[in-house]
Structure 1
Amino acid sequence: MFIPLTVTLAVAALALAGWCGWAAYRDQPTKDWHFIGMAVVSLLALAQLVAGIVALAGGEHPAEGTAVFVAYLLAVVACLPVVGLISLTERTRWGSLTVVAGAVVLAVLQVRLHDIWGGGSGA
């Protein structure tokens, strides 16, 4: 797997979480700028999906199985669009907090993807 992209995606997701967390702290819903941030992070997630598929097509194999790896890649891609849609329907600070939760989950999924690929120190 392409580790710089994984780290970049995790950092971008945490930055988005902080940004939307600040909006929630100020009792604000998600705004257009937050959705642009979600789009940028989602594009990084799509790039990671493509990189993962290319790595699999190139003959590389994740340590914990291809099906699990692909499922996590798809979850990463779906994470922010789902919470973005929820935040559109909840136009209060709770919509911003939904994005915070989704972005933190996305960052945690990056750590797990790294482990699944074989980069972790597990057995």
Structure 2
Amino acid sequence: MAEVGCHRTRELGYIGIYADKARYVELLADFIGDFPDLDGETDSSALDPDPAVGYPHGQALAARLRRAGDRGLLYPSVRHPGGRCFVAFDPGIVQNVRPGASWTLIWRGTPDFAVEAV
């Protein structure tokens, strides 16, 4: 939820109103294959939490990996210490999609948000 909340907070910042409530349903899935892993990469620009730095470097990394035939990538969350993220470059590796937990994210006038289980 840290990743989702961070991006929604950025959107709310663009309009200058931190009053919102959004419900999210987790989607669980299995991913078939072996994937590169950026865990332990402390100097990768693709892992910079500043979107102006991390996004372009992440897109360039993804393009290189796709050209090399990789079908996905594991990487550490830059917003949730210990969290792990995954990107699938090929929808064919995604299997057994099913709903998981439901969460409500709530902003009450500040960029800080609360996460409540539904």
TM-score, normalisation: structure 2: 0.27
* Structure with greater proportional strand content: 2
Please, what TM-score do these two structures have when normalized by structure 1? 0.27
Larger Rg: 2
